[in-house]
Amino acid sequence: MRRVSLLGATGSVGTSAAEVLAADPGRFAVHLVTARNDAAGLAAAARRLRAERAVIADPAALPALREALAGTSTEAAGGPDALEEAAGERVDIVLSAIVGAAGLRPTAAAVRAGNAIALANKECLVCAGSAFMALARRHGATVLPVDSEHNALFQLLEGRDPADIASFTITASGGPFRGWDAGRLAAATPAEALAHPTWSMGPKISIDSATLMNKGLELIEAHHLFAIPPERLDVIVHPQSVVHGLVTFRDGSVHAEIGAPDMKRPIAFCLYWPQRARTTASRLDLVKVGRLAFEDPDEGRFPALRLAREALRTGQGAPTVLNAANEIAVASFLAGGIGFPGIAELVERTLADADRSGLLVDPGSIDDAIALDREARERAERTLDKVLAVAS
């Protein structure tokens, strides 16, 4: 039996993870499920997985959670502190599928308990990469990447000498706006941006996929997970999302990990690791896919990718600020505030603002990263207010 805590159980990754766990009840015992404020969804996950505990971040949703769990033996709690504490309990593996830097505190708590971490929450690593990986090393916590491209690289690296690898490539679908010109991009709506061609995901990462910020965040994620220098990391656009990651060996040989675009596969890979299990994930039918295409990303039309690459090269506090500003920008775009090009613009302005104020120093600890994240959000909000005032 493997004891599992599932952080972000009501989301897209959380729901796919629940499917993997529920399919093998003899193998997994679910200790904890968590969510932000969806009491009904959290209670449904807790019932389905027979979770021992369910914790909701928003304390106002606790009464509804208690009511929805009536008649079960699941223990309910509410509030961010209760969530962090529960995430810090010792189990065998914690799947971190909270979206955004909000996942940092609970995931760090899970690391401090020495738990193995199946990490979907990439913002954690963008916000606090060095501190997070150092914490994991200190506490002997294995970090297994759920993100499909990083899961691919992890699989390609297993049993290899990293010194034999010349470069690493992750693929991008190109998102729903691949091939759109600047005029169309300027008028792109949230509904259009949410309609991803190959993956079905939560709203934040869907917008990040449309701007290509997601791929930028993933470069930073890969840099921290595998200690890859920025100049040996590349992105290639591959609209079919069948090839997820590639490594090029010193001798020129290229190995790729390929599979149908279904998150259940990397999720199961992490939950069962180091074993392999039979899963219900979609199977790849290469004949049906027919042909695989590849092209370079266009950083002119998709400046978010350029900004993330620059932040990766700058290092220090730049990725933390980039991530915080992006979260503010995406929320505003989704709420009908700024337009699509405004997302990258707000990120760029916030980075320049933080740089002028000397804020781009290395967050040496998780707490430093959280403090810089907060400061960057406040600055992004202030700039956003000005942008929206001018626009109205």
**What residues are designated binding site for NADPH?**
10-13, 121, 123, 202
- Residues facing residue 29 across a β-bridge: 3
Binding residues for Mg ion, rule CB under 5 A, total 3
Pick one of 6, 14, 220, 269: the residue that binds ligand NAD (CB under 6 A): 14
- Minimum separation from the CB atom of position 123 to Mg ion (A): 12
Residue count of the chain: 392
12 binds, among Mg ion, ligand NAD, none (CB under 5 to 8 A by kind): ligand NAD
Residue owning tokens 């290229």: 254
257 interacts with Mg ion by CB under 5 A: no
11 interacts with ligand NAD by CB under 6 A: yes
CB nearer ligand NAD, residue 170 or residue 246: 170
Name the DSSP letter for residue 291.
-
- Cα–chain-centroid distance for residue 259? 19
84 interacts with ligand NAD by CB under 6 A: no
- Minimum separation from the CB atom of position 345 to Mg ion (A): 24
> What is the contact mask toward Mg ion in residues 142 to 171, using x (rule: CB under 5 A)?
-----xxx----------------------
Q: How far apart are CA 298 and CA 180, in angstroms?
A: 11
Question: Which residues does 229 contact at the CB level (< 8 Å), separation at least 6?
Answer: 223
Sign of the CA dihedral running 368, 372, 375, 377: negative
CB nearer Mg ion, residue 147 or residue 257: 147
What is the token pair recorded at 196? 């991803």
127 binds, among Mg ion, ligand NAD, none (CB under 5 to 8 A by kind): none
99 interacts with ligand NAD by CB under 6 A: yes
Percentages helix, strand, coil for the chain, rounded to the nearest 5?
A: 50, 15, 35
CB nearer Mg ion, residue 146 or residue 329: 146
8 binds, among Mg ion, ligand NAD, none (CB under 5 to 8 A by kind): ligand NAD
Pick one of 35, 39, 61, 210: the residue that binds ligand NAD (CB under 6 A): 35
221 interacts with Mg ion by CB under 5 A: no
Q: How far apart are CA 255 and CA 209, in angstroms?
A: 25
What is the token pair recorded at 218? 């993933």
Q: Among candidates 20, 7, 18, 24, which has minimal Cα distance to 269?
A: 20
3-state secondary structure of 319: helix
**Rounded to 5 degrees, what angle do the CA atoms 173, 125, 230 make?**
65
Pick one of 17, 69, 82, 102: the residue that binds ligand NAD (CB under 6 A): 102
Give the count of beta carbons closer than 10 Å to the beta carbon of residue 293: 9
> Which 123-182 residues touch ligand NAD, going by CB under 6 A?
123, 147
Contacts to ligand NAD by CB under 6 A: 8-14, 35-36, 38, 57, 97-99, 102, 120-123, 147, 199, 201-202, 204-205, 263
